[in-house]
Amino acid sequence: MNRYLNRGANLLLLLLGMLSLCRLVEESFHLILPAETYLWLSLLCFLLWIATAFRFGILIGMPLSVALLIYLYQEKSLDLASEMRDLIDHINNAYYGYYSGSNASVAADGFSGSHEVAILLIFFILTAFVAVSLHSGCFRVSLVLLATAPIFTVCIAINGSPGILPVVGLLLFWTGLQLGGDSFRFDDGAGKALLFGLLPCLLVFSALLLLYNPDNYIPTEYDISLSQRFDKLGSALAEMLSDGEEPPQSTAAGIPRQTASPEYRAPNGWDRGSDDLDLTAVFDTSKLYEEAFQVASDSVGSLYLRGRSYGEYNGTAWSAAVENTHGTALSYVGHAIAGHEDTVLYSFQLQSPVVYDVLYLPYYSISDNLNDVKIPSNGYGNYSGTFYLTSVGADRLQNLVQLPSQLQSDELQYREFAHSYYTRLPDSTRTAMEQICREQGFSADQNQVIWSVADYVRRQGVYDVNVAPYPSSDYAVWFLTQSHQGYCIHFATAAVAIYRTLGIPARVCEGYLVNNTVPGRSVRVNGSDAHAWAEVYLDGIGWIPVEVTASAAPDPEQPNQGSTAPTPESTFEQPSEPEEPQEPGSEPQEPDQNEDDPASGGSTEAGIGQNPGAAAASGTLRVVLSAFAAVIGLLGLFTGRYLLLRTLLKRRLSVEDGNRRAVNYYRQAERVLRYGGEMPTLLREVAEKARFSQHEITEAELQQCETALNAFTSEVAGGLSRWKQFSFRYLSGNQ
């Protein structure tokens, strides 16, 4: 029993360590790994465990492992070299983004795929070393730590705040490694000690996670002050070591360092600390990995958290919008839909590690604030409020809802301001957009023109945060006619330019798009969730969001969010479950593209271009079939090995030379003797006679030896447990 427990314990350790380490690497370096990667890695661990745990296992495990990697390379990897280069780029981005400031990054060279094959190839080598080390007769602990501890240290140094599950997994892995001892023996009790020792550790970790949810932790002012003291100490040491050179400023864990103002700018890839939006700046990919805040809502779906909007366009930038004095314009839609029968009131809660300069609120806010561009935070970092969801489509709002009578006069004044200010464009931009409108048949009096323009813009571009600055003085025109590449601010700029050309008040708005909100569960929002979209003014209703970026969010035509004025709160009322970090670059996700049309982007609607459900089902089916084929292959190899062992045994026990056959009877009895029993005296005596004398063994003596061997084999097998009988017969080929 100890033999099987020891082998099983090594398999458990191998799976626990490699899966946890892979998850930690994925989070720390923001890699693109599909969920099925962990299934393939588990299969590799199992095959390499077979290769190291059994005497002839290497003849099974290693060839199958190599065959699996070759299959994955042919099936999934278009260019392994590109995967490796992009993997190095991600590591460089994570390193420079943490240690060298927000402006230092290494852009990937046009790569838009998964790192699955590259990671599995690297982890194949690592897993093989760990599997051999786990079965080592000495220095077992040291060898495994040598392979895993440096990777863990680098991930922690880069990430700063890793997910709790991979860290717990690695702690259990190292704990079990220590319990198993520094040497592996088949018959000792190390496996039993490991399995029973890990159980209380697992219970303690589970209890701690239930009592102290790490995702609910928000740094306090004391924590920030303490971290700044450590920053100063580190800066002083760096200055000493650099001979007086000024060390670079950096950010860590989403908390800005060395900032003079008590209010911060929320992380995104295009913000340069100004209220103007510069379209010519290179996207700062290091901001994708910074935590912005955590938000919880009792609604289900997506939330557009509005931050600020912009005013006039000069071709290469948007200027800060002029604030109006005509009433609470950001509250108009909220007041309009509040009393409708299809509107439901929900709540939200937001927690930020620092105080930002604006409040991030879901559509539609009901507030007394007169600022129609942004709502200043006034020192609030943690706040909560309520918002509205309505099933009324934005295209039907003007027909089904209206503002309360006391706000209608204010709205008329603001409408005049919006039509005057938010329709301005440079003459050259307007001329180019008028040509596009004529070609596409857009007109201001056209039914559904807002959604037709949004659909047109989404189809015109390929989403790419690594796009180079345009060689143009008019980004809206260049995006629609030349580049057809950009990210959210380029899509939004192009759409707003068309809307303004048609005389529809519109502006670019930025904030955060939070997907998959679940009641009672907090969502961690990173810089990768920062987003920009178009806001269009509906006369008599107010500002509504219009999604114009390819593959950004479902149902952009639904005005389905809103909020009342926030109230300060320090903590969430309900604990939240751990939220796995989102894949980097999900702001928004890169669109699926039509290979025949390089200018066509994805769509916010699932049915355009391809069927995601069918693709997911096909991928799942491929994984299931591959796993099934692997199992069938293993069964085939196992059956073939058993038949080979039986064939060799029959051949040894049927040789024509009587003396050799008698010795073979004795040697087979020795193999049976490993499972217990006592060697038959007849077999020993006849074997000694055949081996050391000149007498020929008669056929009668051979028949007696065969009978004695069969009886001895049956007696030993009958006294074994079911699992040992299986090993006795099929693994050793004794029956």
Taking only the tens place, the pLDDT of each residue in 10-36 is 888 899 899 999 988 888 877 778 888
Q: How far apart are CA 349 and CA 291, in angstroms?
A: 16
Of the listed ranges 110-124, 252-266, 479-493, the one predicted with least confidence: 252-266
Question: Comparing C-alpha atoms, which of 155, 129, 149 is closest to residue 31?
Answer: 155
Residues 30, 288: contact at Cβ < 8 Å? yes
Residues 488, 512: contact at Cβ < 8 Å? no
Residues 297, 347: contact at Cβ < 8 Å? yes
Q: Is the pLDDT of residue 196 over 80?
A: no
Residue in the structure block whose two tokens are 């105080």: 355
Higher local confidence (pLDDT), 613 or 76: 76
**Confidence (pLDDT) at 721:** 85
| Element spanning 116, H or E | helix 116-134
**Confidence (pLDDT) at 659:** 85
Q: Is the pLDDT of residue 586 over 70?
A: no
Alpha-carbon distance values, 260 to 320, 502, 631, 658, 686 (Å)? 22, 44, 62, 97, 96
Q: Is the pLDDT of residue 559 over 80?
A: no
**Confidence (pLDDT) at 360:** 93
Mean per-residue pLDDT, 284-298: 86
Question: Comparing C-alpha atoms, which of 588, 624, 615 is closest to residue 603?
Answer: 588
**Confidence (pLDDT) at 214:** 60
Higher local confidence (pLDDT), 631 or 142: 142
**Confidence (pLDDT) at 599:** 29
Q: What would the pLDDT profile of 393-432 be if each residue is shown by its tens digit?
A: 777 888 888 888 888 888 998 999 999 999 999 999 999 9
In terms of Cβ atoms closer than 10 Å to its own Cβ (0-12, 13-18, 19+), residue 370 is middle
| Element spanning 319, H or E | strand 317-320
Mean per-residue pLDDT, 473-488: 93
Q: Is the pLDDT of residue 465 over 50?
A: yes
Residues 546, 553: contact at Cβ < 8 Å? no
Q: Is the pLDDT of residue 328 over 90?
A: no
Q: Is the pLDDT of residue 653 over 80?
A: yes
**Confidence (pLDDT) at 1:** 60
Mean per-residue pLDDT, 141-168: 81
Of the listed ranges 235-249, 255-269, 344-358, 581-595, the one predicted with least confidence: 581-595
**Confidence (pLDDT) at 578:** 35
Q: How far apart are CA 379 and CA 366, in angstroms?
A: 19
Strand partners, 358: 376
Query: What are the φ and ψ backbone dihedral angles of 356, each rounded to 5 degrees?
Result: -90, 170
Helices vs. strands in the chain: H and E counts, helices first: 21, 18
Higher local confidence (pLDDT), 282 or 610: 282
Higher local confidence (pLDDT), 687 or 208: 687
Q: What would the pLDDT profile of 50-91 be if each residue is shown by its tens digit?
A: 998 887 888 888 899 889 888 888 887 667 787 787 778 777
Of the listed ranges 154-158, 231-235, 302-306, 559-563, the one predicted with least confidence: 559-563
**Confidence (pLDDT) at 436:** 95
Could you say which DSSP state residue 697 is in?
Answer: P
**Confidence (pLDDT) at 274:** 82
Q: How far apart are CA 184 and CA 13, in angstroms?
A: 13
Q: Is the pLDDT of residue 209 over 60?
A: yes
In terms of Cβ atoms closer than 10 Å to its own Cβ (0-12, 13-18, 19+), residue 32 is buried
Query: What are the φ and ψ backbone dihedral angles of 312, each rounded to 5 degrees?
Result: -100, 150
Kind of pairing between the strands at 567-568 and 563-564: unpaired
Compute, in degrees rounded to 10, the torsion defined by CA atoms 168, 169, 171, 174: 180
Q: How far apart are CA 514 and CA 512, in angstroms?
A: 6
Kind of pairing between the strands at 361-362 and 301-313: antiparallel
Mean per-residue pLDDT, 31-55: 87
**Confidence (pLDDT) at 239:** 56
Q: Is the pLDDT of residue 511 over 90?
A: yes
**Confidence (pLDDT) at 140:** 84
Which of 67-76, 243-252, 627-636 is modeled with the greatest confidence? Answer: 67-76
**Confidence (pLDDT) at 47:** 92
Residues 450, 442: contact at Cβ < 8 Å? no
Residues 65, 124: contact at Cβ < 8 Å? yes
**Confidence (pLDDT) at 124:** 92
Strand partners, 522: 296
Cβ partners under 8 Å of residue 21, min gap 6: 123, 126, 148, 151, 152, 166, 170
Q: pLDDT averaged over the chain?
A: 77
Residue environment code for 541-573, b if the CB has 16+ CB neighbours within 10 A, otherwise e: bbbbbbbbbbbbbeebbbbbbbbbbbeeeeebe
Residues 309, 506: contact at Cβ < 8 Å? no
| Runs of H (alpha helix) within 592-726 | 612-652, 658-673, 681-692, 699-718, 722-726
Residue environment code for 626-661, b if the CB has 16+ CB neighbours within 10 A, otherwise e: beeebeeebeeeeeebeeeeeeebeeebeeeebbeb
Query: What are the φ and ψ backbone dihedral angles of 295, each rounded to 5 degrees?
Result: -135, 145
Find the helix packing angle between 658-673 and 681-692, rounded to 10°: 140
Alpha-carbon distance values, 527 to 278, 287, 647 (Å)? 18, 5, 65
